Amino acid sequence: MSDLVSVETRENVRSIRWNRPEKKNALLREMYTAAAEAIESGEADKDVRVYILGGQPGLFTAGNDLVDFMEAPPHIGGEDTPPVERFMRALMTAKKPIIAEVDGIAIGIGTTLLMHCDLAYASENAIFKTPFADLALAPEFASSLLFPARLGRPAASDLLMLGSTWKAERAKEAGLITDVITSSQLVDQVFEKARILAKKSPGAVRAAKQLMMTPEEPLADRMNREGALFAAMLKSPEFAEAVGAFMERREPDFSKFG
C-alpha cells in the first residue's frame, strides 16, 4: 500500500484519502493502484459497508500528475489494464456505496469520478473543472455519456467543451454533487452520513444501488425487476430482523449480515 494513499476502516466505513498535499494530490500510478486495492479488498470484507473517497482539508485532487502520466500514457480498454483504469473500474463496479468528500480543487478525473460515486458532498471551497479540451484530450471514463444524462447537454458542454470552472453551489444546482457542507464540518458530517448508511440493511443498500446502476429499460421491465428482488428479499434474514425490530420497537441490528 502506498504512503501516498491513507486507508482507515472504522465503524464499517473505509476511508480512502489521497495523501500527496505537497503536489496538490496530483495522482500517480501507485496512488491509483493503492486506491483500487482498498476498494477491491473492501468488496470482499463483510466488515466494510461504505467507502469514503477524499483528500485532506482544503484539497481533493489536482487530477493526474502529468509527468507520471506521460511516462506511461494509459490506453483504456487496451490489452493491459493501466492503474487509472483499474481504479476507475473498481469504483464503477463496487457493490457497496461510495461517498465522495470534496474540499478544495477537483480537477479532471477529480470531477469525472464523481459520476461513479453514489453520493458526493463538497465544501464551499470546492472547485470543479474538466480541462480536457484545454489539453487537447477527449473526455474520459464515460463522462461524455454520464454528464449529459445527469446534468443536461448544455451544462455538460460547459464542463467538457468550454472547460469552465464550477464552484460548489453551481455543482449542487446542476446535480454534480449531493450537497454543500461547511469546510470545518465536512469530514465529520460525511463520516456521520457514511456511518448511518453502514447501519442499514446491507442487502437492501446493495439492491438499491444495483437497480439504479441497471441500464435504462421499459418501465414495466423495471417494475418486474424490482418486484423479483422485492419478493426474494421478503424471505431474507435481514427482512426478518427489520420486522422483528419494528414489532419490538427497537432499532434493527444488521451487524451480523454481510
Q: Is there a single domain that holds both residue 95 and residue 135? A: yes
Q: Is there a single domain that holds both residue 164 and residue 207? A: no
**Residue 33 domain-assigned?**
yes
Q: Is there a single domain that holds both residue 232 and residue 143? A: no
Tell me the mean pLDDT per 10 residues along the chain, length 258: 91 97 96 98 96 96 91 79 95 97 97 98 98 93 95 97 97 98 98 97 96 95 97 96 95 91
Predicted pLDDT of residue 1: 61
Say how many domains are in the chain.
Answer: 2
Element (H, E) at 172: helix 168-174
Predicted pLDDT of residue 2: 79
Predicted pLDDT of residue 197: 97
Q: Is there a single domain that holds both residue 220 and residue 206? A: yes
**Residue 38 domain-assigned?**
yes
Q: Is there a single domain that holds both residue 98 and residue 122? A: yes
Q: Is there a single domain that holds both residue 34 and residue 119? A: yes
Q: Is there a single domain that holds both residue 64 and residue 171? A: yes
Question: Which residue type occupies 146?
Answer: L
Q: Is there a single domain that holds both residue 165 and residue 234? A: no
CATH at residue 135: 3.90.226.10
Predicted pLDDT of residue 211: 96
Classify residue 67 as exposed, middle or buried by CB count within 10 Å of its CB (0-12, 13-18, 19+): exposed
Hey, CA dihedral for 67, 134, 85, 207, is it positive or negative? positive
**Residue 183 domain-assigned?**
yes
Predicted pLDDT of residue 258: 81
CA dist., res. 128 & res. 121, Å (int): 12
Report the b/e string of 139-149 with b at 16+ CB within 10 A: bbbebeebbee
Which structural domain, as residue segments, surrounds residue 24? 5-198
Predicted pLDDT of residue 17: 98
Q: Is there a single domain that holds both residue 109 and residue 221? A: no
Q: Is there a single domain that holds both residue 131 and residue 100? A: yes
Q: Is there a single domain that holds both residue 185 and residue 209? A: no
